[in-house]
Structure 1
Amino acid sequence: MGRLFTIAEMTLRELVRRRGVLALLLLMPLAFYLIRRDGYVGQSIRSLMLGVAWAVSTAALFATGAARELEPRLRLAGYRPHHLYLGRMLGLWVLGLVLTVPFLLLVLVDAPDFVRYGGVAAAMLCCVAVAAPFGMLIGAVLPRDLEGTLLLLTVVAVQMLIDPAGTGARFTPFWASREIATWAVDRTDDGYLLRGGLHGLAVTLLLVLLVAGVFTVRLRRRRHIRYLPAH
């Protein structure tokens, strides 16, 4: 566990020292919320969820890319692949939870009293849980930040435009947060909460397994080792 916490701390330090990046991560969810604030309250809260998902996914994407050159040295120092990806994921989850605190307070102050605030918190937690491994997976598969950012933007745009009641929406990564947010804002039956919770748990576990597979294969190639031809 000590090595996991070490990698988590390294990830947090790398992101926290970039104050401009943190400011932009806070600005995106706030902008999503304020743009829809004049309309139906449910739309503003759902947009806030997408903003949180975008912010945490982007942080995970750039953290994965920034650590790519450091990983071979950590492997030589005795760190195993699961130390690297689980530790980084842990650090990103912590960062995501910290980022959600001001937005949860914003909803508590700004949203009407009929909103189920516990549901809003659960939807944000679901966003963070899914976004960290999702961003890491994109960062591991697409080594260039530009391509990864464009893919994230596409996913968020599709998530925003697709009909949440349609069958295809269930295959989007952040559908769970929209279901839970609907339960929280529209005070629908508990089926929304159950479906959202199960979907979020399943997607998180699937993404963690995919991240584990990609990182294990990539880190075991040992590109930092060069074998000289035999004479």
Structure 2
Amino acid sequence: MKILTVAEMAIREMVRRRAVLALLLALPLAFYLVRRGDQVGQSIRFLLIGLAWAVSTAALFASGTSRPIEPRLRLSGYASHHLYLGRLAAMWLLGLVVAAPFFALVAIDHGDQVRLGAVALAMLFAVTVAAPFGLLIGAIVPRELEGTLLLLVVVGVQMMIDPADALTKVTPFWSSREIGTYAVDHTGDEYLVRGLVHGLIFTILATAVVALLSTLRLRVRMRAATSA
């Protein structure tokens, strides 16, 4: 119940920032439209990157805006896992809401050319990975400007790196790229399996690190508050 309460608070905070919500929709749409006219595969791959970038950015800002109220929630009986799991659930829900109209757009534009089920799965994993990744950046880099620049670097590398390079496998959104390739190019099932495994592993690891960093940070803040 406490996790749901934290999730509701995070959602309300994001809804109040209407400009942020508009940008969450504008970013994936711009990525999609850039390649829509000439390359079906590229337009969907760019859409997946734009979606992941938007959700990661939202999670990064959610991490920063919630930090000032965390000590009061802790004093009210909320454990550290209530806080980071609540924010994570909120970002997953927000990501799915943002992804839904884009899936409809792809279905209308290219429904007869791609595997729509796999496109939906690629979007799901883009959101699934992006939420803990954004929270992870927020936990590592407390200032929003530096966090945004770090996220920009990661996404830029993800977009520009050669798909055949081994380094792509350690990038956060490789899973949605592999599943997207399966959806668009009608490749073998190995692409789907690799994407699913990578996405699950990255999500678990990122969430675990967020949990560790959040718990340690809150303990330090609570001790400092008690000492004062």
1:40 maps to 2:39: yes
| Cα distance, 1:217 vs structure 2 | 0.5
CA offsets per residue over residues 184-211 of structure 1, 9 Å max, x none? Answer: 0000000000000000000000001010
The number of residues matched between the two structures is: 227
TM-score normalised by L of structure 2: 0.97
Task: Give a deviation string over 1:26-70, Cα, whole Å, max 9, x none.
Answer: 000000000111221000000000000010000000000001100
Q: Which runs of 5+ in 1 are unaligned?
A: none
RMSD: 1.0
Q: 1:226 to 1:112 in 2, by over 3 A?
A: closer
CA shift for structure 1 position 165: 2.4
Shift of 1:227: 2.3
> 1 CA distance for matches of 2:74 and 2:31?
40
Deviation of 1:19 (Å):
1.2
Matching residue of 1:119:
118
3-state SS in 1 of match to 2:162:
coil
Note the residue ranges of structure 2 that are not aligned, 5 or more in a row.
none
Aligned residue identity for 1:84: L
Q: Is the 8 A contact 1:72 1:224 kept in 2?
A: no
Aligned to 2:160: 161
8 A Cα contact 1:85 1:215, kept in partner: yes
Identity fraction in percent: 61
- Secondary structure in 2 aligned to 1:179? helix
Which amino acid in structure 2 is aligned with residue 227 of structure 1? S
Whether 2:60 is the aligned partner of 1:61: answer yes
Query: Deviation at 1:164?
Result: 1.9
1:125 Cα deviation (Å)? 0.4
> Separation in 2 of the partners of 1:110 and 1:5?
36
Q: Distance between the aligned counterparts of 1:103 and 1:165, measured in 2? A: 28
Counterpart in the other structure of 2:107: 108
| SS of 1:164 mapped into structure 2 | coil
State the TM-score, normalizing by the size of structure 1. 0.96
Give the letter aligned to residue 150 of structure 2.
L
Alpha-carbon offset, residue 114 of structure 1: 2.3
Counterpart mapping for 1:8-19 below 5 A: 8-19=7-18
Amino acid at match of 1:82: H
Q: Tell me what 1:227 maps to.
A: 227
Alignment partner of 1:36: what SS?
A: helix
Other-structure match for 1:72: 71
2:174, 2:163 → 1: CA distance?
7
Q: Distance in 2 between matches of 1:18 and 1:202?
A: 32
Instruction: State the 4+ residue runs in structure 1 displaced beyond 3 angstroms.
Output: none
Contact 1:133 1:204 (8 Å CA) reproduced: yes
Letter paired with 2:194: R
**In structure 2, how many angstroms separate the alpha carbons of the residues matched to 1:112 and 1:78?**
49
1:144-185 deviation line (CA, Å, top 9, x unaligned): 110000011111110001122221100000001000000000
Alpha-carbon deviations, 1:83-131, whole Å to 9, x = none? 0000110011000011100000000011151200011100000011110
> Hey, which of these two has a bigger chunk of helix by percent?
2
Distance (whole Å) between structure 2 residues aligned to residue 224 and residue 56 of structure 1: 33
Q: Which residue of 2 aligns with 1:98?
A: 97
8 Å Cα contact 1:81/1:219 also seen in 2: yes
Q: Secondary structure at the match of 2:67?
A: coil
Amino acid at match of 2:227: Y
Task: Determine the C-alpha separation between the residues in 1 that align with 2:227 and 2:60.
Answer: 32
Report which stretch shifted further, 93-102 or 109-118. 109-118
